[in-house]
A and B are shown apart, each in its own frame.
Chain A
């Protein structure tokens, strides 16, 4: 299944480093509706662990998947409530 087709919105945080990918992801999620999926495109390799940690600790969001390739890290986060 291609996850891109499920994304409601894409957030480009390429070139930004900790803590901005997480902070901007949180901001973008706040603007979405329940059921929407945010695609986050980052170049910060730490974002693989950080977005997961943030999603685990934050109520109302669920990490659907993460992809890695060509120095780009893509995260799919659903706003569940």
Chain B
């Protein structure tokens, strides 16, 4: 220890009032920080963000099934719809989502046949009948239960403009006027992030 500076520890009997005051302020500051963190942790439930990009009948299902189920878990759920997935939120077009017969190896027909005019309609009719016969929810029902449960169904503004869709084309309750930054900021905070 240096001897050319006065030794405060031995000069004083105990900590000065100023030191005590400073420590007390620090303790109070830390206590309030801990309290804030505890509140934050308690509020911070599980959250999920799904990016939906496809607008065919089959691909409309996975985002909505996961979203409605996650909401039933009590999760905070956002589904960001971009490009063809906008049709899922489009009040008119969502009733007419189609299944593509071409390029789908699971289709019970060769691509050469699937490419014939009208084959998408045939495949779509088959799928719709199966959905009805199987007690599978319709896309409309899944949108309704999702919105009822507080799922934030978002429509990407850039692709809305690209496809000439207006706010009023979408179901009531759909969020518009959002872009990639909104999606990313939610994804950064989310526990589950999916792109479908």
**With contacts A17-B134, A17-B137 known, is A22 near B74, CB below 8 A?**
no
- Binary CB contact string for chain A from 56 to 79 against chain B (1 if under 8 A, 0 otherwise): 011100000000000000000000
Are the C-beta atoms of B72 and A17 separated by less than 8 Å?
no
Decide yes or no: A58 and B145 within 8 Å by CB, A16-B135, A19-B68, A19-B137 being known contacts: no
- Segment 8-35 of A: residues with Cβ below 8 Å from B: 15-20, 22-23, 25-27
B147 at the interface (CB under 8 A from A): no
Residues in A whose Cβ lies below 8 Å from that of B68: 19, 23
Q: Which residues of B134-168 have CB atoms within 8 Å of chain A's CB atoms?
A: 134-137, 141-142, 145, 149
In whole angstroms, how far apart are the Cα atoms of A19 and B68 in the complex? 7
A17 to B138, alpha carbons, bound, how many Å? 11
B134→A23 contact, CB < 8 A: no
Which residues does chain A contribute within 8 Å of B137, judged by CB atoms?
16-17, 19-20
Q: Are B135 and A57 in contact (CB under 8 A)?
A: no
A18 to B71, CA, bound (A): 14
CB < 8 Å: which of A19, A44, A59 contacts B72? A19
**B193 interface residue per 8 A CB criterion:** no
Question: Of A18, A43, A57, which is within 8 A of B73 by CB?
Answer: A57
Contact between chains at A54 and B135 (CB < 8 Å) = no
Q: In the complex, are the beta carbons of B65 and A58 less than 8 A apart?
A: no
Question: For residue A16, which residues in chain B have a CB less than 8 angstroms away from its CB?
Answer: 135, 137
Interface positions, chain B 47-74, Cβ under 8 Å from A, are 65, 68-69, 71-74
**Which B residues contact A (CB, under 8 angstroms)?**
65, 68-69, 71-74, 134-137, 141-142, 145, 149
Interchain Cβ contacts under 8 Å between A and B, 28 examples: A15-B135, A16-B135, A16-B137, A17-B136, A18-B65, A18-B69, A18-B136, A19-B65, A19-B69, A19-B142, A20-B135, A20-B137, A20-B145, A22-B69, A22-B72, A23-B68, A23-B69, A23-B72, A23-B145, A26-B72, A26-B73, A26-B149, A27-B149, A54-B69, A54-B73, A57-B73, A58-B72, A59-B74
